[in-house]
Amino acid sequence: MPVATPAQYRAMLDAAQKGGYAYPAINVTSLPTINGALKAFAESKSDGIIQISTGGGEFASGTAVKDMALGAIVLAEAVHILAAKYDVLVALHTDHCHPKNVEKFLKPLIAATAARRAAGKGNLFNSHMFDGSELSLAENIKQSVDLMKLCAENEIILEVEAGVVGGEEDGHDTSGVANDKLYTTPEDMLAVYEALSPLGRFMFAATFGNVHGAYKPGAVKLKPTILKDGQKAVTDKHGAAAEMDLVFHGGSGTPLEEIRETLGYGVIKMNIDTDTQYAFTRPIVAHMMKNYDGVLKIDGEVGDKKAYDPRGYLKKGEQGLCERMKVACDDLLSTGKTIFGTV
């Protein structure tokens, strides 16, 4: 099955909301990371989300080009081709796009989807994230509304963020923000809902102390009940049907009980990047250390071509990422719940 259609993507989100589970959303940067993610979803019989950041897109375009939108298009087209070989649904998403990158990343990608649709093809991307958390809430909402209108014209779902996810990841550095900015208020959530819901479906990355990057247990203080309080503020005023599709950023290293708690508050997507980066790199490091004299031409020797052939160690990285993603599917309760073939 190719990448999910807009209708299938909506059905995926509906199924997760109704079923009390969430989709792992993995950042990819290359063919091996794409293949590892697809393999994990297929082996877990889980649908999932594959996403590309501005930094990932720039990397994929090559060091001589450094075009974040072009690289994202290359990776997305590869996902479309490769996903057709698997019996699960995957959606394509872009991660944190800050206001300064809207014109050179988000808008060109929306235009690429529009061009694809005009040619009778499916959407290039199913959803995009606009991260306006550095702005005032009023300006964040204003720019989100403008982008929602563009997205809705092409059946694209917009993810927005109010509040700030702490830490640093892929050029997204908020490690110096004040602690109170790490927690979205019920009033914030209500304001976002009332501004965006008339325009179409959206996802909301509300923040509850979550932090990007890798930290030792206990270093990050999450308050998942913030999500419950915000949802209650919205549904008390607008009814049960107003429950929002929430996104958990900074999920790497989070204790399982806190992950599961968020599922009960409407989280249907959890980003995972730091843990999968490590899972990809760890077996490659092991390969290099075990084959030191093979990957290097030491003391005038010729080395071992089988050891330094990139295919050998990149396959190990792909498998390491795959295994970690299967754990994510289990943690988020999406394992065995693909809706492939039913919509």
Residue of 14, 67, 95, 180 marked active site? 95
CA pair distance 279, 251, nearest whole angstrom:
15
- What's the sign of the alpha-carbon dihedral 156, 162, 166, 171? positive
CA pair distance 155, 147, nearest whole angstrom:
12
CA pair distance 235, 80, nearest whole angstrom:
37
Three-state DSSP class for residue 275: helix
95 catalytic residue (yes or no): yes
Q: Which two tokens stand for residue 35?
A: 């293949």
The pair phi, psi for residue 92, each rounded to 5°, is -105, 135
Each as own residue / partner, the long-range contacts of residues 174-182 (CB below 8 Å, 24 or more positions apart, any chain) are: 174/133, 174/212, 181/133, 182/207, 182/208, 182/209, 182/210, 182/211
CA pair distance 115, 110, nearest whole angstrom:
9
Give whole-number Cα distances, 115 to 70, 147, 154, in Å. Answer: 14, 17, 10
Q: Which two tokens stand for residue 113?
A: 């989807």
Three-state DSSP class for residue 256: helix
Q: What angle do the packed helices 68-83 and 107-118 form, to 10 degrees? A: 40
Per DSSP bridges, beta strands 157-162 and 168-169 are unpaired
Q: Which residues contact 330 (CB under 8 A, 6 or more apart)?
A: 44
Q: Which two tokens stand for residue 322?
A: 């795959």
- CB count within 10 Å of CB 101 equals 18
What is the biggest distance separating any 2 CA atoms in the chain, rounded to whole angstroms?
75
Residues annotated catalytic, as ranges: 95
